[in-house]
């Protein structure tokens, strides 16, 4: 049976690009910078760059490679990759690296004899993966810094705005809106440090040969071990890495992938927690993410303002957190010096982890830049709960006025139960303060009740904690990214 869209395709060429499945990470969520970083042009031009660096280093160390060959390779590194030719070659030889060796050699006929000289497939494959991951961290770090900066500004603005805090999702003591934002920020600062560490820990696989012994290069240099070591160092330096692995099998240790993706998964957990809090606060009507003028919250319920950005973040974060199981299983199942069952898995899992994390940061920045606070709603919610929280303060004030602590406790317990029943059984407002005002027993503190009920006296050191945290922890952490903090985030969809 013909698909319902086939007749449309014949009539409208624009439909062609929408017929086949395309990952939503690229089509809807991740940034252009990150999708290009994991794209084929970046991948295969980096392969060509690595072959050129290898030839340059081998020439410098005395192998018979001409300057003409080097120039030819340099002139064809990017921009003219014949992907159709490479695809045909791969179908013929069933080997992606050799397909691109032949494709590169086709446009570099003079250099063809020395392309990939002494190398194994993982020389280009693994080293490119390491370069791409390093570049991916470089794309993400300024974005994470911007998220932290936006959230910190929000925290500073609302550092003294009293609000209910919650334990067990039940009202606890008062805190401030800014203090809660600092709790979120603190987790993001931990992620910033984790990403910086993961990037700094990346080492180049280097020039190691088929199973990491460098035997092929030792043969090329007639047993000169010093030149083989120099070759490794030269290519590492050309690739922009400070160090390379001294020991590896055919591949770099797949625990590197575990460390990188685990760091991203940890960021996912942070984002999920923050955006879940925002969704809950939106339900309480205390806080909302940005909502655009023409945005529709529900196709059936026009009044709704659903927290779709935060929901998107939670959804993507859930995917990101699960991806760490792929590199864990891959690392655990690498037999001896290497098995190829890592290849297909890594093509998907590593790219998706970075693309997902990138999408999270772009969306989260957008949320942080447009958070809306509703102080009157927060105040009303405080009034519902604060009388119960203030009972201890009222007892202390009564004792200072000469009252008996135990008798006062009993008096206020009875009134609290009555007020609680009014709230829970009758659906009315909390009237404990009015009951206290009407009680002759509490006459000694009637004049002090307004002061005793001031929310600002219940937030402890929260405002001061915000100031100190932002000054001592946030600002130094963002110092390296000062030039990257400008620019607003824009959601494509």
What are the residue numbers of the active site? 168, 298
Name the region of 120 (left: φ>0; alpha: ψ -120 to 50; beta: rest).
beta
CA distance 167 to 410: 26
CA distance 221 to 93: 30
Task: Look up residue 60 and give its two tokens.
Answer: 């410098």
- CB-CB contact of 360 with 399 (8 Å): no
CA distance 79 to 476: 41
- CB-CB contact of 141 with 195 (8 Å): yes
Residue 420 CA neighbour count, 13 Å, CB half: 8
Place of tokens 């806080």: 287
Residue 194 CA neighbour count, 13 Å, CB half: 18
CA dihedral 425, 430, 432, 434 (to 10 degrees): -120
CA distance 176 to 163: 5
Place of tokens 């194994």: 120
CA dihedral 349, 354, 360, 362 (to 10 degrees): -150
Quick check: helix, strand or coil at residue 170? strand
Name the region of 460 (left: φ>0; alpha: ψ -120 to 50; beta: rest).
left
């Amino acid at each position: 049976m013909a698909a319902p869209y086939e007749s449309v395709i014949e009539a409208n060429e624009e439909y062609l690009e929408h017929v086949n499945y395309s990952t939503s990470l690229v089509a809807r969520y991740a940034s252009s910078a990150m999708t290009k970083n994991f794209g084929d042009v970046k991948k295969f031009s980096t392969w060509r760059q690595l072959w050129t660096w290898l030839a340059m280093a081998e020439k410098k160390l005395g192998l018979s490679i001409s300057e003409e060959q080097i120039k030819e390779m340099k002139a064809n590194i990017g921009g003219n990759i014949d992907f159709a030719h490479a695809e045909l070659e791969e179908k013929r030889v069933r080997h992606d690296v050799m397909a691109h060796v032949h494709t590169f050699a086709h446009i570099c006929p003079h250099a063809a004899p020395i392309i990939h000289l002494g190398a194994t497939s993982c020389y280009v494959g693994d080293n490119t993966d390491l370069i791409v991951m390093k570049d991916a961290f470089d794309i993400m770090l300024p974005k994470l810094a911007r998220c932290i900066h936006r959230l910190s500004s929000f925290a500073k603005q609302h550092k003294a705005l009293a609000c209910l805090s919650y334990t067990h999702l039940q009202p606890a003591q008062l805190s401030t809106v800014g203090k809660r934002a600092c709790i979120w920020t603190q987790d993001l600062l931990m992620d910033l440090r984790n990403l910086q560490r993961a990037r700094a820990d990346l080492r180049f696989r280097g020039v190691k040969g088929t199973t990491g012994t460098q035997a092929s290069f030792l043969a090329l240099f007639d047993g000169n071990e010093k030149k083989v070591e120099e070759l490794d160092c030269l290519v590492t330096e050309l690739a922009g890495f400070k160090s390379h692995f001294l020991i590896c099998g055919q591949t770099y240790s797949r625990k590197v992938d575990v460390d990188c993706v685990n760091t991203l998964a940890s960021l996912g957990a942070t984002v999920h927690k923050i955006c879940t809090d925002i969704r809950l606060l939106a339900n309480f009507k205390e806080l909302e993410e940005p909502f655009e003028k023409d945005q529709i919250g529900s196709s059936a319920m026009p009044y709704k303002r659903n927290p779709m950005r935060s929901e998107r973040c939670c959804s993507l974060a859930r995917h990101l957190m699960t991806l760490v199981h792929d590199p864990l299983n891959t690392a655990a199942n690498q037999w001896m010096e290497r098995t190829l069952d890592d290849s297909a898995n890594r093509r998907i899992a590593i790219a998706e982890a970075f693309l997902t994390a990138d999408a999270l940061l772009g969306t989260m920045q957008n949320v942080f830049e447009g958070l809306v606070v509703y102080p009157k709603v927060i105040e009303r919610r405080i009034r519902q709960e604060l009388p119960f929280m203030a009972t201890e303060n009222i007892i202390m004030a009564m004792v200072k006025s000469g009252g008996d602590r135990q008798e006062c406790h009993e008096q206020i317990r009875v009134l609290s139960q009555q007020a609680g029943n009014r709230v829970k059984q009758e659906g009315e407002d909390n009237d404990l303060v009015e009951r206290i005002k009407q009680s002759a027993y509490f006459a000694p503190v009637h004049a002090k009740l307004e002061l005793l009920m001031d929310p600002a006296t219940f937030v402890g050191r929260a405002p001061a904690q915000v100031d100190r945290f932002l000054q001592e922890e946030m600002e130094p952490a963002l110092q390296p990214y000062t030039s990257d903090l400008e620019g607003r985030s824009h959601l494509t969809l």
